[in-house]
Amino acid sequence: MKLPRAEFEQTFDKYRDHLRREIHCFCDCAAVLRQINDHTHDHLAEINLAPGFFHTVEDALFTTVVLWADKLFDEHGERGFFNFLMFVEYNREWLTTEELKRRKGYPEGHWMLKDRTPITAGSIEADRNRIRSLAGLPSIRLRRDKYHGHFDKKYFFDRTRLQNEAAITWKELDEAAEAMGSVLNDYSVDFDGVFYSWASPSDLGRLLSAAQRTRDRAD
């Protein structure tokens, strides 16, 4: 797993880009799912213009959220955050402040080089434990194993049991998204100073408001 510098840089850049895309998939799906839920309070009439569509989208988005979180946080996955952290741990000699300086050509005293916290085996383990301690992970894994990834007969025939035993809150989804984004950003900044924004689509409200104006004019 330990790589020469040039191979590490190429692999890190590729790994980071693919993780970034998967994080966006999770964050975007969770954000739109929440918008649909929230807009049932102020645009229920517009949502009910196409109830089958919105119900299908909600189900699809929720399944995606569960599966993507499980994949990204799978400790035994061939890719995902635990594999990424192992990759970083074996190659942390290429993520020092001196390597950042060389990689970006920063001069002495550049603000990006000041007061940087070195990456250690302990700091990487802290990131692993941060993921392990996410409150929503047990419910996500149970849902993936018993319903969204595989059908378990007990949960297949009793959907209320799944909701009672594996409820997932918006706060837990927010915490999962925050952990994904901040862990990747921390190592990305150490690599070459790149910091990503995880802004998600927020245009559903505008679409529903336009539908409301059209409906009001028709009335």
Report the alpha-carbon distance of residue 172 to residue 187 in Å, rounded. Answer: 23
Query: According to the per-residue pLDDT averaged within each range, which of 43-52, 181-190, 196-205 is highest?
Result: 181-190
pLDDT attached to residue 202: 82
Q: Which of 58-62, 65-69, 80-84, 202-206 has the lowest mean pLDDT?
A: 202-206
The encoded tokens of residue 169 equal 């809150």
Residue 180 contacts residue 72 (beta carbons within 8 Å)? yes
**DSSP for residue 113:** G
pLDDT attached to residue 219: 65
Question: Considering the chain, what percentage of its residues have pLDDT values greater than 70?
Answer: 100
Q: What angle do CA 146, 137, 195 make, to 5 degrees?
A: 130
Amino acid at 137: L
Report the alpha-carbon distance of residue 123 to residue 111 in Å, rounded. Answer: 22
Report the alpha-carbon distance of residue 74 to residue 80 in Å, rounded. Answer: 7
pLDDT tens readout for residues 99-133: 999 999 999 989 999 989 999 999 999 999 999 99
- Provide the whole-model pTM: 0.92
Q: What is the mean pLDDT of the chain?
A: 94
